[in-house]
Amino acid sequence: MLCKSNQRSRRQTQIAATTEATLSRLFVPAALVGLSLAVIRPATAAADDTGDAVQDKINTACQEAAFAEAVAQTYERIANRQQQEVQDLRKQAANWELAAAAETNHETAALLSALAAHAQAKAEEAAAAIKTSTTDLAAAHRAYLARANFLYGAHEQAAVTWNAESNGYKKATSSTFKARTGAPKPGTSKCDENSRKIGSSIPTATSFGTGQLKKITYTSPEEIAKLTPRTVLTITTGITCATDDLSSWTNSVTGCSGITATPTYTHEAEAQTKPSAIALYANADGNKKCAQDSLDPEESGDTKKKLLYVTCKAEKAAQAKYPKLGDITPDSLSEDNAVITAVRNSHAEFMQIPDTTKDSDIKDLKEYIKKAYGKEADKFKTEFIDNINKKSISYRGHKATEKAKIGDLALKSEAAAAIAYFQRQKFLAAAAALPAAKPEKSEATKKCKPDTEENECKKDSDCEHKDGKCKLKEGVKSENDGKPTNTTANNSFVISKTPLWLAVLLF
């Protein structure tokens, strides 16, 4: 309690000076809250056409937070789609490889093998192409997610209030005292689900990743600081204050006779303006040169620069060109030199073509390829993708015959067992299709005929007369013939005679 004295004038002067300093200090915590949220440089442009119809309607930092979250999801979705399209190519390549192994028709198997190799090559080409783009998209995803969480956190911090304090004054020195709040307590953020909506819906990023974006919406640090309301201290005096002069702290305080109650604290919200729109590109002539085309390490803490940088890179990454499964059509296959050469090597009608790089030599071959793969893209998809993937095959599994769809088996380790099984079956079928081998009679056998007279038989050193018959001496067969006389042996000797023909059958 402050008491009156005969030296009222001096005390009033002290009170005025002390109170003004004390009340000034009461605003420091609130100011610090605001400044702790402001670590980036302010935006400059006024909100206008950003290239995104939803973004144009953002009026608050809360809406920007919700929109930033939507942008993060958009970039993540695009990155996932690019990676999935690479996986689609790899999976289909595996499907075609397994289908080729299971196919018993030589020409169809060759077409499927060519498809498998083509798709695998395109998958690797696509993987290399999206390596940088998915990195840039992921960086933008992280930056916008961090921005959303930062703005949500700013609203949470701005909602902090204080508990009541039973002893709001405390002597500091012989001529000063402190006025303090109660302990801080969390409040309710004003950025609730309803406040995040634009119109009646949570915002979505309609133009991000489409190449149509021009600007990004950005709430400056100064505007973020205004989310924190002013702290108002109300002091009750002993009697009615003598002056209504509100223009001077000194007059306001010294006109009152004393303080009789603990101070109370309230909040006054600051007036806010809508976020600004910052140009994404250096100029509007359509060349799309990034306004922030680099980011030095010392600039990484500048949120505005970082958002401009990662957004511009992500927009370009979203437009990356790379092979896709849908790009494989009869037309594209008939123009691919690797496919042309593969079909030439497997088809008897075209094997005589000496050079598959000469258009004049491969005109008919290209027409055959287009027709063999269905001629039309829709028919190709039906016959060589949909029907192949759902086709059931049977093979020898761990213990018994297994049955599975090609699309379900191709990327599993069990596919190796299936492919090996089908290769063996083709080998056996090819061997069985060969003409039966006839035993060859040696010259010695022709000479030693059973009914030859004994004297005549013995004239030939390779023959002997035994058991009343003329016979070939033991050991003479292998020496003269070079082949075993057992004509019931396995088929290995037949295969050695026809390796090229059998290799074609097993392709």
Q: pLDDT for 39-56, tens place per residue? A: 333 333 334 688 999 999
Q: Rounded CA gap, 23 and 340, in Å?
A: 86
Confidence of residue 274 (pLDDT cuts 50, 70, 90): confident
On the question of pLDDT at 125 being above 60, the answer is yes
Q: Which residues pair with 477 in a beta bridge?
A: none
Q: Which two tokens stand for residue 37?
A: 């949220």
Q: Tokens at residue 333, please? A: 């296959």
| pLDDT reported for residue 493 | 32
Within 13 Å of residue 31, how many CA atoms lie on the same side as its CB? 5
Please state the rounded mean pLDDT for residues 56-65. 95
Q: Which of 2-11, 151-160, 207-216, 361-370 has the lowest mean pLDDT?
A: 2-11
Residue 233 identity (one-letter amino acid)? L
Categorize the per-residue pLDDT at 443 as very low, low, confident or very high, splitting at 50, 70 and 90: low
Pick the more confident residue, 168 or 348: 348
Going from the C-alpha of 438 to that of each of 109, 251, 427, 494, the distances in angstroms are 32, 130, 21, 11
Confidence of residue 149 (pLDDT cuts 50, 70, 90): very high
Contact 171, 279 (CB under 8 A): no
Average pLDDT over residues 148-165: 92
Q: Residue for token digits 């097993």?
A: 506
Q: What is the rounded average pLDDT of the residues 383-394? A: 97
Lowest mean pLDDT among 133-147, 191-205, 222-236, 256-270: 256-270
Task: Please provide the average confidence, as pLDDT, over all residues in the chain.
Answer: 82
Using one digit for the tens of pLDDT, what is the confidence trace for 8-40? 333 343 433 333 333 333 333 333 333 233 333
Q: What residues form DSSP beta bridges with 404?
A: 393
Largest CA distance in the chain: 170
Query: Which tokens belong to 265?
Result: 């604290």
Tokens 């077409």 belong to 111
How far is 400 from 435, CA to CA, in rounded Å? Answer: 32
Higher pLDDT, 417 or 4: 417
**What does the block give as tokens for 452?**
């030859």
What the block records as the tokens of 32 is: 């610090």
SS3 354: coil
| pLDDT for the residue 245 | 66
CA of 459: how far to CAs of 253, 388, 444, in Å? 152, 71, 13
Residue 147 has pLDDT above 60, yes or no: yes
Token pair belonging to 218: 């950005």
Report the DSSP pairing between strands 264-268 and 230-234.
antiparallel
pLDDT in tens, 85-103: 999 999 999 999 999 999 9
Per DSSP, the three-state class of 39 is coil
* pLDDT tens digits for range 188-239: 999 999 999 999 999 999 899 999 999 999 999 999 999 998 888 887 777 6
**Mean pLDDT of the 259-278 span:** 81
**Banded pLDDT at 473 (limits 50, 70, 90):** confident
Instruction: Characterize 435-455 residue by residue with b for buried, 16 or more Cβ atoms within 10 angstroms of its Cβ, and e for exposed.
Output: eeeeeeebebbebbeeebeee
Output the pLDDT for position 90: 98
Please count the CA atoms within 13 angstroms of the CA of 26 that sit on its side-chain side. Answer: 27
Per the structure block, which two tokens stand in for 312? 């511009």
Residue 405 is predicted with a pLDDT of: 97
Q: If 0-12 CB within 10 Å is exposed, 13-18 middle and 19+ buried, where does residue 391 land?
A: middle
Parallel, antiparallel, or unpaired: how do β-strands 184-185 and 215-218 relate? Answer: unpaired
> What integer pLDDT is reported at residue 178 of this predicted model?
81
DSSP result, 358-388: -GGGSHHHHHHHHHHTTSSHHHHIIIIIIHH
Question: In the predicted model, what is the mean pLDDT of residues 466-474?
Answer: 85
Give the integer Cα–Cα distance in Å for 254 and 94: 89
Lowest-pLDDT range, 58-72, 136-150, 232-246? 232-246
pLDDT exceeding 70 applies to what percent of the chain?
Answer: 79
- Higher-pLDDT residue of 488, 186: 186
More confident position, 505 or 436: 436
Residue 7: which pLDDT band, with cuts at 50, 70 and 90? very low
Q: Which pLDDT belongs to residue 263?
A: 76
Q: Which two tokens stand for residue 470?
A: 């003329």
Which among 307, 316, 321, 319 is positioned nearest to 141, based on CA atoms?
307
pLDDT value of residue 5: 37
